[in-house]
Chains A and B, each alone.
Chain A
Amino acid sequence: MLKNRIIPCLDVKNGRVVKGINFVDLKDAGDPVEQAKIYSDGGADEICFLDITASNENRDTIYEVVDKTSKKCFVPLTVGGGVRSIDDINKLLNCGADKVSINTAAVQNSKVVEDSSRKFGSQCIVVAIDAKRKDDGWEIFTHGGRNPTGINALEFASKMEKCGAGELLVTSMDKDGTQSGYDIELMQKISSMVNIPVIASGGVGTLDHLVDGIKSGASAVLAASIFHYGTYSVNEAKQYLASKNIPVRI
């Protein structure tokens, strides 16, 4: 039986781990390579790096982090943040990333998703959707949640599936950093609409939130703070999910 995945995410800036609260207020703590190794030894099903390095001159730091991590961790590694072109994707994959997540570039030019999934295979193309509630639906944002687009999240999700995305990483901006749980309605709507796996993200504060995320139809749950600040270990999270009859790899 296919197991539900738990994916700890590390926000990386200038080669160091930070965790954003509502995309601002960053705290610096830890070496990403060491952190990733702790997670994979602890049973993480995948590792996710989100590169939030702002300045172009420091952009290359992520390649070094990915290269070092992939020589120590033998579970899938997804890297996102600032991925603009086929060339960026190629570089990350060559450094040892297994999947690349694309956000702003996918919104600006869906051909990047089409071309990259054709060139590298859908399995390594994750489209990251940052969505915020607006009126009766959700609007997607780009540039790390800074720029509104006026685009409906559900329509965009469907379009990305058609363009060849292998997975969708759906983050609720309303919930991100609040530790009040995923936006369950958003996860349900997108999971039931697309036939590709959905990774739920944004808002985890307790282990029950992970349970709710899986029950919403997501194939995987992503969390940062609860693991990063040691509130729970990945193993504790898995044991808890198993106790709630959610199939996980233990």
Chain B
Amino acid sequence: MDVTIVDYKSGNISSVINSFSEVAKNKVNIEVTSNLNKIKLSDKIVLPGQGSFKSCIESLNSINGLIDTLSEFVLNNKKPLLGICVGLQMFADIGYEEVETKGLGWISGKVSKIDNHKGKYKLPHIGWNQINIVKESKIFKDIENNSHMYFVHSYEFIPNDKSVTVATTDYSTNIVCAVEKENLFGTQFHPEKSDKIGLKIIDNFIKL
């Protein structure tokens, strides 16, 4: 099996590579590439994302044909894709970080700044927070409810259709922190930085 981590030159993906390599243990081939043919031929895709919504979308756009290839993989071929952090946020129709930016539109919704209640809550939301699993998800197999995951973000994904939400976390408001829609998976937290429990989520995704 080939799992491809999309390298679109946006932010730091070495932790994502290290964690997937650790879990794959040579049994699964982990590719790190932006090569469109390799992406097309892979069985699963990981879409990381660091920095702003705008800069990530711009980086995706800077590689000719990448967004079309990813959309075809997800929407037509229905193969599994995991978005992490801004990788998940980009599923949305629109994001409001820096300037209004069009997203991939895979899951209808928007990405807005977390309401910090006039400074009562610090942003970014950094650290370990518990996830409240609201719906069964394949990537949460053997993950206990209220497990701690590592978060670092100032913006949140607000899906229009609440039924895609599989987990939330409490920080100033109830933040959507994991989604599942058919073959599309996303986590706002960083499984690659969430110790053994995070590696279990990665293992679940690889084993889908």
Q: Which residues of A contact B (CB under 8 A)?
A: 1-5, 40, 45, 70-71, 74-76, 93-98, 118-124, 166-167, 195-197, 219-220, 249
Q: Which residues of B contact A (CB under 8 A)?
A: 11-12, 14-15, 18-19, 21-22, 50-52, 55, 116, 119, 122-130, 148, 150-154, 170-171, 192-196, 198-199
Find out whether the CB atom of B127 lies under 8 angstroms from the CB atom of A98: no
For chain B, what secondary structure do more than half of its interface residues adopt (helix, strand, loop), or is it mixed?
mixed
Complex Cα spacing A166 to B194, Å: 19
Q: Give which listed residue, A96, A124, A196, contacts B123 with CB less than 8 A.
A: A196
Complex Cα spacing A50 to B21, Å: 27
Q: Give which listed residue, A76, A96, A123, contacts B14 with CB less than 8 A.
A: A96
What are the 10 tightest A-B residue pairs by CB atom distance, in nearest-first order? A121-B51, A93-B12, A249-B128, A123-B152, A249-B148, A96-B14, A3-B128, A2-B129, A121-B50, A197-B122
B154 surroundings in chain A (CB, below 8 A): 122
Decide: A71 near B128, CB < 8 A? Known: A94-B12, A94-B14, A123-B153.
no
Complex Cα spacing A119 to B108, Å: 28
Find out whether the CB atom of B123 lies under 8 angstroms from the CB atom of A195: yes
Complex Cα spacing A208 to B199, Å: 33
Q: A1-B130, A4-B127, A45-B128 are in contact. List 6 more A-B contacts (CB 8 A).
A: A2-B129, A3-B148, A45-B127, A74-B22, A76-B193, A95-B14
| Chain A, Cβ-Cβ closest to B98 | A118
Find out whether the CB atom of B22 lies under 8 angstroms from the CB atom of A71: yes
Find out whether the CB atom of B193 lies under 8 angstroms from the CB atom of A74: yes
